[in-house]
């Protein structure tokens, strides 16, 4: 019997060879759209001819006309999911059959084709003979989807439209080294998804020029390279410049002139000859979350530019400066940036006053601070780490602390005998620029909500700080910065809006080496201090009453269990 079973299995394996093909079947256009949006690895295959493809195709579709498919199967990955479409669905059904017979694993056929796709209002990208002619023919409010390709022309966006490129590395507008490549003159315009290159070489020729009055325009997700100025905004407000790569331009990467209340965010701005970002006579702009590197000047607030905010950026490896405030520019805020490996970390120059520089890290620059003919700027809660010279000053007097906390200076060698996280002596960073409250550890700020943060000064490495609003508990991990470090400390500022009680700290569930819960109180925040013998530890900050509550609950639980035990024990032996 066993021999017969083995023979049957052998014959089955010879005549019924398993196939790896999985025909995924027909799907509607709405199902196809969901599939495209959910699976970035999906291959989209258009089996129409070239002219049909140019007249309108699905974003990033690969063109292989049906009559060429069998000879070009090697251009497709058999293990990838493939969505096939044509004009109405007939040719794509045939193409799916060809792929099935060739052993492709999973093929979807989009029924109804691009005709059904377009009828639902889904986007198709067009290979225009001239983008400018398409703009001229468009009505205000139109969105033009531009197919990949190289367009050698100069565009004037003089009506409120959206111009969207199919793929920013393959949809190229080339100015052929003359004039501005793209001029935006209409407000509320949108430019997205292009490579914009080769403007003219004369002063102020730009890859993208946002002209006077083109307010609230949006320039996003483009590559802007090899122009004279990359992006120039002139006398326009409320514009958004985000998610672009701006590199290798012959002057500035991004320049704002007489332009106010714009936002420059999440861009990579590198290898431009002069400024990465240059604000000139421009007020109240926000520069955030950018990476700015390998320019001569990283970011500069220049010539009567006031009230600007630069936050959460990285300014590194710029040959002259990371951050500059120049020529009578006042009331600007430079905060929460990483500024490293520049010649000058922060440069305040010639008449700029009353600015705020706080919560930044300046490390491994030739000069952490360069202060030249600039006064009355508040500079505190910054970390100055391993700069060749921490600060230089010439005819400049500024405030290097806020009255009770200053900056962390890696070169400061003072002591902290009273255990409050502040040095017992002051630190002269440069002549006439004295930190009266130098920090004994680095400053960190941890956002726990959109509104509140917890500030920590510590000589430990702080990781994984978490706040539980439900339990009113702060937890964080502290670890020594070197094997020779024996003791660590934390000075913590806690907003009353999140915790407003008497606090209690435990280190790995044990009492700290030392704690001061009444270090400072200004009515809105409480400062506490604690220190510990070092290793990798978990520090927990709770309400004091919670500790007593836990003890009370334990006592009650013990009493109840004891009572239950006595009653059961008495009942077992017949007592009542």
**pLDDT tens per residue across all 576 residues of the chain:** 434 433 333 333 433 333 344 448 999 999 999 999 999 999 999 999 999 999 999 999 999 999 999 999 999 999 999 999 999 999 999 999 999 999 999 999 999 999 999 999 999 999 999 999 999 999 999 999 999 999 999 999 999 999 999 999 999 999 999 999 999 999 999 999 999 999 999 989 999 999 999 999 999 999 999 999 999 999 999 999 999 999 999 999 999 999 999 999 999 999 999 999 999 999 999 999 999 999 999 999 999 999 999 999 999 999 999 999 999 999 999 999 999 999 999 999 988 999 999 999 999 999 999 999 999 999 999 999 999 999 999 999 999 999 999 999 999 999 999 999 999 999 999 999 999 999 999 999 999 988 999 999 999 999 999 999 888 899 999 998 888 888 999 999 999 999 887 899 999 999 999 999 999 999 999 999 999 998 777 999 987 654 444 444 444 343 444 443 344 433 333 333
CB 502 within 8 A of CB 493: no
For 467, how many CA atoms within 13 A lie in the half-sphere containing its CB? 16
In angstroms, rounded to a whole number, what is the distance separating the alpha carbons of residues 267 and 576? 81
In angstroms, rounded to a whole number, what is the distance separating the alpha carbons of residues 305 and 259? 10
What's the confidence (pLDDT) of residue 82?
A: 98
What's the confidence (pLDDT) of residue 351?
A: 87
Residue 491 buriedness (CB in 10 A; 0-12 / 13-18 / 19+): buried
138-376 architecture in CATH? 3 Solenoid (2.160)
In angstroms, rounded to a whole number, what is the distance separating the alpha carbons of residues 233 and 404? 41
Tell whether the torsion through CA atoms of 549, 554, 558 and 561 is positive or negative.
positive
What's the confidence (pLDDT) of residue 460?
A: 95
What's the confidence (pLDDT) of residue 335?
A: 98
CATH, range 19-119:
3.40.250.10
What's the confidence (pLDDT) of residue 544?
A: 62
What's the confidence (pLDDT) of residue 240?
A: 98
pLDDT tens-place string over residues 101-130:
999 999 999 999 999 999 999 999 999 999
What's the confidence (pLDDT) of residue 145?
A: 98
What's the confidence (pLDDT) of residue 486?
A: 87
Scanning the structure block, which residue is given the tokens 């600039």? 374
Scanning the structure block, which residue is given the tokens 């421009």? 282
């Amino acid at each position: 019997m066993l021999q017969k079973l083995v023979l049957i299995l052998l014959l089955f394996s010879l005549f019924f060879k398993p196939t790896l093909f999985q025909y995924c079947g027909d799907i509607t256009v709405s199902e196809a759209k969901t599939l495209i949006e959910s699976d970035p690895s999906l291959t989209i295959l258009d089996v129409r001819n070239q002219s049909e493809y140019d007249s309108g195709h699905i974003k990033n579709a690969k063109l292989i006309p049906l009559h060429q498919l069998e000879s070009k199967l090697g251009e497709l990955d058999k293990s990838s999911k493939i969505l096939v479409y044509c004009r109405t669905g007939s040719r794509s059904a045939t193409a799916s059959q060809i792929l099935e017979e060739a052993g492709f694993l999973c093929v979807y056929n989009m029924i109804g084709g691009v005709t059904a796709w377009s009828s639902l209002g889904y986007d198709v990208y067009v290979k225009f003979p001239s983008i400018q002619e398409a703009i001229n023919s468009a009505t205000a409010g139109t969105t033009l989807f531009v197919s990949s390709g190289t367009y050698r022309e100069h565009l004037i966006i003089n009506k409120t439209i959206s111009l969207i490129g199919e793929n920013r590395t393959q949809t190229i507008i080339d100015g052929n080294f003359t004039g501005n490549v793209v001029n935006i003159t209409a407000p509320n315009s949108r430019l997205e998804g292009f490579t914009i290159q080769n403007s003219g070489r004369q002063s102020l020729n730009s890859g993208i020029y946002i002209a006077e009055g083109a307010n609230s325009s949006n320039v996003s997700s483009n590559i802007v390279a090899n122009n004279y100025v990359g992006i120039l905004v002139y006398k326009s407000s409320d514009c958004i410049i985000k998610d672009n790569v701006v590199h290798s331009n012959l002057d500035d990467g991004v320049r704002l002139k007489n332009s106010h209340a714009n936002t420059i965010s999440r861009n990579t701005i590198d290898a431009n000859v002069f400024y990465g970002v240059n604000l000139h006579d421009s007020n109240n702009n926000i520069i955030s979350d950018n990476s700015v590197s390998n320019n001569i000047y990283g970011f500069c607030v220049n010539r009567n530019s006031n009230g600007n905010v630069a936050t959460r950026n990285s300014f590194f490896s710029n040959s002259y400066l990371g951050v500059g405030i120049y020529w009578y520019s006042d009331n600007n805020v430079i905060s929460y940036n990483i500024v490293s490996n520049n010649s000058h970390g922060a440069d305040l120059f010639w008449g700029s006053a009353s600015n705020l520089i706080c919560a930044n890290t300046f490390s491994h620059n030739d000069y952490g601070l360069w202060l030249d003919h600039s006064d009355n700027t508040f500079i505190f809660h910054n970390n100055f780490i391993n700069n060749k010279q921490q600060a230089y000053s010439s005819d400049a007097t500024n405030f290097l602390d806020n009255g009770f906390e200053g900056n962390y200076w890696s070169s400061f060698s003072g002591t902290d005998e009273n255990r409050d996280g502040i040095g017992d002596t002051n630190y002269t960073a440069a002549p006439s620029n004295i930190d009266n409250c130098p920090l004994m550890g680095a400053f960190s700020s941890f956002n726990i909500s959109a509104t509140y943060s917890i500030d920590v000064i510590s000589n430990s490495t702080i990781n994984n700080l978490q706040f539980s609003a439900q339990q009113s508990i702060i937890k964080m991990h502290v670890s020594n910065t070197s094997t020779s470090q024996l003791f660590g400390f934390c000075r913590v500022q806690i907003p009353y809006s999140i915790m407003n009680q008497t606090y209690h700290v435990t280190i790995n569930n044990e009492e700290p080496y030392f704690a001061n819960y009444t270090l400072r109180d200004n009515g809105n925040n409480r400062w506490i201090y604690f220190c510990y013998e070092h290793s990798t530890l978990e520090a927990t900050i709770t309400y004091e009453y919670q500790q007593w509550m836990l003890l009370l609950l334990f006592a009650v639980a013990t009493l109840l269990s004891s009572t239950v035990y006595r009653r059961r024990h008495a009942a077992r032996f017949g007592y009542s």
